Amino acid sequence: MDFSSFNFHESLAESIESSGYKKATLIQEKAIPVIMDGKDIIASAQTGTGKTAAFLLPILHKLMSEEHTDSEVHALIMVPTRELAIQISSHLDGLTYFSSISSMAIYGGGDGGSFVREKQALSRGVDIVVATPGKLISHLNMGYVKMKELKYLILDEADRMLDMGFHDDIMKIISFLPAKRQTLMFSATMPPRILQLAKSILDEPVEVSVALSKPPESIKQQAYIVYDTHKIPVIQHILAEKEYKSVLIFCSKKQTVKQLAAQLQRMKYNAKDIQSDLDQSQREDVLLEFSSKRLPILIATDILSRGIHIDNIELVINYDVPSDGEDYVHRIGRTARAETKGAAITFVNNDDQHKFQRIEKLIGKIVEKVELPAALGKGPSYEASSSRNRGPKKDMPKPNGQKPRPQAPPAAPRAAGGLTIEKRVQ
């Protein structure tokens, strides 16, 4: 479906054309007409399918088409992370270029000057506010936020907000809003607690679901069965095979992110990390470098897995297996966004095998297991079993008849992190 089929406001249609949008994605085709009709919606779709435009476009059309005062907040978009707030705000800047619609991003980590600017916008009125719950409550508690005429409430990445413990904050913010409003809830997954939240804040919502919890087929998924000493050498091997312009590496712990970035930098790779120890300006600078392709390798924690919306990420590497299968879906969903192709590679050590098997069950697919480079020797055996005990491992016959691999890890390679590779990502 072409975007012209929605009959958007002239100013919005001009921005859409200038932004290079051609055809609507499936979630956009399903959600936009419902929102345009003024109905509440609870929508779920796999990451990278265009959820942001699915709610921004119809809300912008409504705001551009309706008469409203300039001294109030008319639409509130709540998001779990500052990165997502920044991304949506940037998206809004492009879509409102040919209109008078105003917007403001409100999130933690700023300085005193940013708080003053936020206070001025919230007290004088701004059409659209994109905010993280905690920072918005700081302003609401001071009594100057003008939301009596708010018409639209959007919860983006609602499942992530609940995972991060924002349920009470969400309900407190809603207590400040008019009862009569249109509420839109977008979530990548639909666990029971999301349905409970929807029941409490939505009015007879229309449910829209697109390919829930399944990574796009356009993502080539692979896994290496490794000892921890193999991980850096395998990264070198992967980066030597092809010159990547955009690689995103996920680690489950902040300390691992920092250590991996330092190791890759010592090996002369152009890599940086993004994690909570950086101040906001540093994080924004790193994201800008990565999105503009001046930084080819970014290492991050799971907080970025749903908060980054950058096109043309060629490769996602899971340095370790995430504890939550849904996080795996979101991590690898950073590549192959919309109609592009991409690759996702996961490192699975002995302790993570049971978690990875749960992920394979969740996505309904056995991920291809890739042999380690010959120079690294053998890795641990992979027990393709739905149940694994935590006691001493016993070598079991492999399904394909191969002999089980030895369990004793090889000596940790040292030079250049384990493998001498001359080619670097510049």
Query: Does 51 or 61 have the greater pLDDT score?
Result: 61
Q: How confident is the model at residue 297 (pLDDT cuts 50, 70, 90)?
A: very high
- Using the predicted structure, report yes or no on whether residue 415 has a pLDDT greater than 70: no
- pLDDT score at 400: 41
* Pick from 19-33, 204-218, 388-402: least confident: 388-402
- pLDDT score at 305: 57
Based on the domain organization, do 197 and 305 belong to the same domain? Answer: no
Based on the domain organization, do 199 and 248 belong to the same domain? Answer: no
Query: Does 66 or 76 have the greater pLDDT score?
Result: 76
Residue at a domain's end among 187, 210, 233: 210
- Using the predicted structure, report yes or no on whether residue 231 has a pLDDT greater than 90: yes
Based on the domain organization, do 279 and 392 belong to the same domain? Answer: yes
Write out the residue range of the structural domain in which residue 347 sits.
Answer: 219-418
- Using the predicted structure, report yes or no on whether residue 404 has a pLDDT greater than 70: no
Residue at 309 is within a domain: yes
- Using the predicted structure, report yes or no on whether residue 391 has a pLDDT greater than 50: no
Residue at 159 is within a domain: yes
- pLDDT score at 385: 54
Q: 75: which 2 tokens?
A: 């639409």
Residue at 426 is within a domain: no
Over residues 109-131, mean pLDDT: 89
- Using the predicted structure, report yes or no on whether residue 287 has a pLDDT greater than 70: yes
Average pLDDT, the chain: 84
Residue at 424 is within a domain: no
Distance in angstroms (rounded) separating the CA atoms of residues 182 and 77? 12
Give the pLDDT confidence of 302-320 residue by residue, as tens digits: 766 555 667 678 999 999 9
- pLDDT score at 327: 76
- pLDDT score at 190: 82
Residue at a domain's end among 210, 231, 262: 210
Based on the domain organization, do 35 and 170 belong to the same domain? Answer: yes
Based on the domain organization, do 141 and 188 belong to the same domain? Answer: yes
Q: What is the CATH number of the domain that holds 229?
A: 3.40.50.300
- pLDDT score at 82: 86
Give the pLDDT confidence of 318-360 residue by residue, as tens digits: 999 987 676 788 788 778 665 568 899 999 999 999 989 988 9
Based on the domain organization, do 184 and 247 belong to the same domain? Answer: no
Distance in angstroms (rounded) separating the CA atoms of residues 197 and 210? 20
Distance in angstroms (rounded) separating the CA atoms of residues 43 and 9? 24
Query: Does 22 or 286 have the greater pLDDT score?
Result: 286
Question: Distance between alpha carbon 9 and the CA centroid of its chain, in Å?
Answer: 30
Residue at 425 is within a domain: no
| DSSP-H helix ranges across 66-203 | 82-95, 112-124, 133-140, 158-163, 167-175, 192-201
Based on the domain organization, do 192 and 304 belong to the same domain? Answer: no
- Using the predicted structure, report yes or no on whether residue 180 has a pLDDT greater than 90: yes
C-alpha angle 77-157-346 in degrees, rounded to nearest 5: 145
Based on the domain organization, do 275 and 362 belong to the same domain? Answer: yes
Over residues 129-155, mean pLDDT: 95
Based on the domain organization, do 8 and 72 belong to the same domain? Answer: yes
Single pTM value for the model = 0.61
First to last CA, the chain: 40
Based on the domain organization, do 22 and 170 belong to the same domain? Answer: yes
* Pick from 44-58, 96-110, 153-167, 371-385: least confident: 44-58
Domain count across the chain: 2
Give the pLDDT confidence of 99-111 residue by residue, as tens digits: 999 999 999 877 7
- Using the predicted structure, report yes or no on whether residue 238 has a pLDDT greater than 60: yes
Residue at a domain's end among 210, 241, 264: 210
- pLDDT score at 123: 92
**Cβ neighbours, 10 Å, residue 304:** 23
Based on the domain organization, do 262 and 283 belong to the same domain? Answer: yes
Residue at 177 is within a domain: yes
- Using the predicted structure, report yes or no on whether residue 247 has a pLDDT greater than 70: yes
Residue at 423 is within a domain: no
Based on the domain organization, do 372 and 293 belong to the same domain? Answer: yes
Over residues 295-308, mean pLDDT: 77
Residue at 249 is within a domain: yes
